Structure 1
Amino acid sequence: MIESSLPGNFRAIPELDELWQDPHPGRRNEDAVARGRAFHRAFKAEGPVRGIRTIDLLHFPYPQAFGLWQAPVNRARYVVMRNRLVVIEFDDFAGERRTLLVNPTEHDLSGRAPFFAQARRELASWVPDSVDRAIPGPAARLRAIGVDPAKIDYVTFDHLHVQDLRRGLGDLDGAPLYPRARLLVNRRELESLACLHPLQRPWW
């Protein structure tokens, strides 16, 4: 079920509410900087989190044209990027200790997105099929640092494209890896799935 109202232990970020109302791009840029600084001050004033851990998951090919935009350093078609998992433990506004999981990518499922499937075909000579089976998933990485996946409270991603959420949150064979977790997601991005633009489809 999609919920739009904030739970009692959440707070809105009002500093960014009216960011896109000014049609002038220069003024909008200045406004974004000012609002970002205001949010930074407010965020720091709340105090530090209890703990944060960053864990490398895997390296993957990504088009240099996207990764470096108009500043390519060579003629290689792909650059190699690193996917990382972030675990954050914090006290919410109700005083409860919570654990947030950021970007728990299931690489073998994400690899089925049309874009990555095509990349794998192009790079098959040096990326063996066995590589997916050799890399532990995010749940295994959590257990390795003493975090029980079943106790994760929230899961979020910097973006949803190429992400397959079913193993973590349910709808694949077997119990979900994060049975108590709630997914925090950008509503507009989620609603875009109802009618993807043709240029978006390779990423889903």
Structure 2
Amino acid sequence: MSIAERLATEPLAIPRPATTAPFARIDTFDKALTAPGGFGPRLRASRTAALDFRREFAATGTPDSVRTHDLISLPYPTGYGLFRAAISPTPFLTIVNRMLIVRWTDTDGTRRTLLFEPSDHELDSYTPYFAELQRYTPGPLRNLFVHEYTDVLSACRTAGIDPAEVDYLAFDHLHTQDVRRWLGTTRPQADISPNAPVAAAFPNATLLAQRDELEAMADLHPFQRPWYQPATFVDVPPEKITPLDGSVLLGPGVALLATPGHAMGNQSLVLNTDTGIWAISENAIAAECLTPEHSRIPGVSRSARSWGHEVILNANTIETTYEQYNSLVIEKTIADVSQRDSRFRQFFPSSELTGARLNPGTTPTFTHRAIGHG
């Protein structure tokens, strides 16, 4: 039976770690995300909770350093990235996926290192959606749309970080992700290491992911299947995954907030830096999507104004559009304004919209490109 057939007929035996996350739980948003009366009251409650969180979070301190590394640029459907807003004639735009390296010191003096969005772009390309897309962009044609800047391990070497120093890996959600090379496996893998289990590239790291998403991957809905590779998690050692039950404070000025909607277990990295507070996720693909009234992308400001939308979602999977909208408003409320242009927030898309000649009408008005701190 093929993997596709198994996914359609039976749940996968994905390990379910019982580990308790060793982090301070943030309960500021708990009531807001479940407020009675529907998603309208939850939006108002979420905005209020975000203002409370801003004050509390700023007092936790700052990390030691934050650096970003470009990994890969790739095509992405315009209708997903600029949900119902852009009027570009091109069906695709270009996004750049970036990894963040965040380091901080715990209260006991222990130095910690987090890799956020450490995507293995080779193995991730086997995600059903992107594998199908590659059928139409073979060989030289692919090179017109895809550019590989570096890989995760090379970025670590550039940053002077020994893989053994890395404590945590995290993603805003687990769409496309295959972490077997990073965390290792308990059994041989035919496509990577057919004669022995895969050795972990990051031997001391654990994956931080929301329990809701880890459990959902075991038995995906048909609308979710194109975006996940659940079979790649079956042989990952259970102790290498730390499930999170909501929002947590990782360290001074470093938090993972549960921001459901784009995926059940969507989470946003929040950082307190020299320039103020940043929110990082894939809920939107451009900073201007949080203040669309200032966007010069054709159609975006007009669409937002016509429909009364204050944010423009990245909506490739519409698990719960209302929740994702509310989550993006939380990020907008938390993030400080950019010191480079006060029209835009310090929202850093983990996959950021980038202008390309092949994609007319999708050039962003403003880009962050990087976060530097410490």
SS across alignment from 2:79: helix
CA distance in 2, matches of 1:35, 1:94: 30
Q: Aligned residue for 2:26?
A: 13
Q: Aligned residue for 1:147?
A: 161
TM-score by length of 2: 0.51
- Higher-helix-fraction structure: 1
2:212 corresponds to 1:188: yes
Contact 1:114 1:203 in 2 (8 A): yes
Aligned Cα RMSD in Å? 1.9
Q: Deviations over 1:89-142 (max 9, x none)?
A: 0122443210011000000100001100111122225214xx78x653201111
SS across alignment from 2:113: strand
Distance of aligned partners of 1:3 and 1:39 in 2 relative to their CA distance in 1, 3 Å threshold: farther
Distance of aligned partners of 1:93 and 1:188 in 2 relative to their CA distance in 1, 3 Å threshold: farther
2:85 corresponds to 1:53: no
Per the TM alignment, residue 161 of structure 1 is displaced from its structure 2 partner at its CA by 1.1
2:109 corresponds to 1:95: yes
**1:152-171 equivalence runs, <5 A:** 152-171=166-185
Number of aligned residues: 200
Q: Aligned residue for 2:42?
A: 28
CA distance in 1, matches of 2:53, 2:108: 21
CA distance in 2, matches of 1:4, 1:27: 34
Of 122, 127, 146, which aligns to 2:142? 127
Q: Deviations over 1:141-180 (max 9, x none)?
A: 1102211112100110001010001011112534211110
TM-score by length of 1: 0.90
Instruction: Name stretches of at least 5 consecutive residues in structure 1 with no aligned partner.
Output: none
Of 118, 134, 143, which aligns to 2:132? 118
Q: Aligned residue for 1:67?
A: 81
Per the TM alignment, residue 77 of structure 1 is displaced from its structure 2 partner at its CA by 1.6
- Higher-strand-fraction structure: 2
Q: Aligned residue for 1:179?
A: 203
CA distance in 2, matches of 1:195, 1:93: 40
Query: What letter is aligned with 1:122?
Result: Y
Q: Deviations over 1:8-42 (max 9, x none)?
A: xx200011222232232222111101111211211
CA distance in 2, matches of 1:199, 1:35: 31
Overall identity of the aligned pairs, in %: 37
Instruction: Name stretches of at least 5 consecutive residues in structure 2 with no aligned partner.
Output: 1-15, 186-191, 229-374
Contact 1:59 1:82 in 2 (8 A): yes
CA distance in 2, matches of 1:49, 1:86: 13
2:224 corresponds to 1:200: yes
Contact 1:152 1:180 in 2 (8 A): yes
